[in-house]
Amino acid sequence: MAYRYATEHVDHSDLASGCVLRSAPGRPGFPVRLASELFQRAAAHVGNGPVALWDPCCGSGHLATVVGLLHRDRLAYVLATDVDTDAVGIAERNLGLLTAHGLAERERELRWAAAEFGRPAFLERAEAARRLAADLARLGGDLSHTVRVGDAFRPAVPERPVDVVLTDVPYGGLTRWVGEPADEDPVVELLRALASALPDHAVLAVVARARKVAVSGVRVLERVRVGNRAAAVLRAADLRR
């Protein structure tokens, strides 16, 4: 079944890339409401308990960090990996914001920048960091996470069992595939490779800049379309058949 994206309007400006979360040229962020929607859809196919999340093409870590901050009460653990070591360095700093210490350090950094450079905008960002810290505490406090280098086409079995994979695949001029996927459709090869490292019950939600994520011969649990992005939600067991 295909779904059009719809959700309540909530101000997520504190989570915009470059506000509290760190950004870098060539490391695009991800629409916050879409990230939340896709995570909830995928997690609903797993069950009601806390789930472990993995973003295997994490880039700057924006997507994984946003989901961690919004859905701390639904998460037990977050894993973020990328083949690009520079990207992993940025992701480590962003996923550090999933702790009270990380958010407090970020608030202090932004307040120092406001005083040093006379930029009121940095004070606004510092206040955003404070609000995010309050929300994190309310939803359950520090979230356990791991950030490391990893090739999504040759994935190692995660240190802890993963229930949900959520990733935005590389596209266009801002990001690109690293390595040489053998399949004519690298998205299909990516999904099958990831499924080999996951338990049968795990659910994968993959997003691409396309009208449709084509996965021939595999049962799709849900499809979501938002603007020029399309997503497919699949179960790991079905990708191995």
pLDDT (mean) for 164-192: 69
- Among 154, 161, 38, 21, CA closest to 91: 21
pLDDT of amino acid 125? 98
Q: Which CATH superfamily is domain 2-9+28-98+144-239 in?
A: Vaccinia Virus protein VP39 (3.40.50.150)
pLDDT (mean) for 162-191: 70
SS3 206: strand
**Positive or negative: CA dihedral 13, 40, 95, 152:** negative
Residue-wise pLDDT for 97-147, tens only, equals 999 999 999 999 999 999 999 999 999 999 999 999 999 999 999 999 999
**Would you kindly state where each structural domain of the chain is located, as residue ranges?**
2-9+28-98+144-239
Residue 62 has pLDDT above 90, yes or no: yes
Query: For residues 202 and 217, what is the distance between their CA atoms, to the nearest angstrom?
Result: 19
Residue 174 has pLDDT above 60, yes or no: no
pLDDT (mean) for 61-76: 98
Average pLDDT value over all residues in the chain? 90
Assign 221 a pLDDT band (cuts: 50, 70, 90). Answer: very high
Residue 75 has pLDDT above 90, yes or no: yes
Look up the pTM and report it. 0.91
Decide if 223 contacts 1 (C-beta within 8 A).
Answer: yes
- Helices within the chain (DSSP H only): 32-44, 62-70, 85-95, 100-117, 120-139, 186-195, 236-239
* Residue 108, CB-side half-sphere exposure with 13 Å CA sphere: 6
Higher pLDDT pick, 2 / 221: 221
**Strand order across the 2-4 sheet:** 2-4, 222-226, 229-235, 203-208, 164-168, 51-55, 75-82, 145-149
Assign 211 a pLDDT band (cuts: 50, 70, 90). Answer: confident
